[in-house]
Amino acid sequence: MKLVLRFVVFALASLSFAALLGEFYGLWKMRSFAIFTFVPAIVALILLAQRNKDARTWIVQGTIGGLIAAIVYDLFRLPFVMGGYPLFAVFPKFGQMLLDIPLSIPPNQAPIEAHIVGWIYHFINGASLGIMFLAMCVKPTRKTLFFGAIAWALAVEIMLLLSPYYDFFKLHLAKNIFLILTLSAHLVFGVVFCW
């Protein structure tokens, strides 16, 4: 029964990424998916956390760890952004997709609500990564948490790199530099999360 609960928690948390990936592959619009699937999933996770001690641990600790790791991840990338790399340019694009604002509008011209919603979505993804990871950790030890969190963060980034992410958002950054910056940032996310 506990394995089923782990699967349910993992699946519900994964819907934040499914919203984005589905848009990349033309399966659905991110806005519709978020409204009809992801928002109910958040409610379901809250209810599970209230009713089940194990689920509460994975959801609460995963959320806290994921949010802290996402903040440090962004702080790690901040010097590169200040140096001209457009690493934060996708956040308003997330907001534009969720608010149904055309992506043809450049990030610096997007309305403020697109920036706010995009950043909120980014932090929800950080929390979701944390929840998903803890739901997968059947026998957590210091060693499995440390190496597992790093492997998980890198695996998620590799999955994104294999998706149409880079081309979808028309990132104007050499792919090799983008690869180094995003993988190193996800490594930082994994280290901070396991801590």
d(CA 83, CA 120): 24
**Tally of CB atoms within 10 A around 175:** 11
Q: Confidence class of residue 124 from pLDDT cuts 50, 70 and 90? A: very high
pLDDT of 138 reads 85
Q: Which residues contact residue 138 at a Cβ distance below 8 angstroms, ignoring those fewer than 6 apart? A: 3, 6
Q: Write down the pTM of the prediction.
A: 0.91
Q: What is the rounded average pLDDT for all residues in the chain?
A: 91
Q: Confidence class of residue 176 from pLDDT cuts 50, 70 and 90? A: confident
Q: Which residues contact residue 171 at a Cβ distance below 8 angstroms, ignoring those fewer than 6 apart? A: 86, 89, 90, 178
pLDDT tens digits along 10-67:
999 999 999 999 999 999 999 999 999 999 999 999 999 999 999 999 999 999 999 9
Q: Confidence class of residue 178 from pLDDT cuts 50, 70 and 90? A: confident
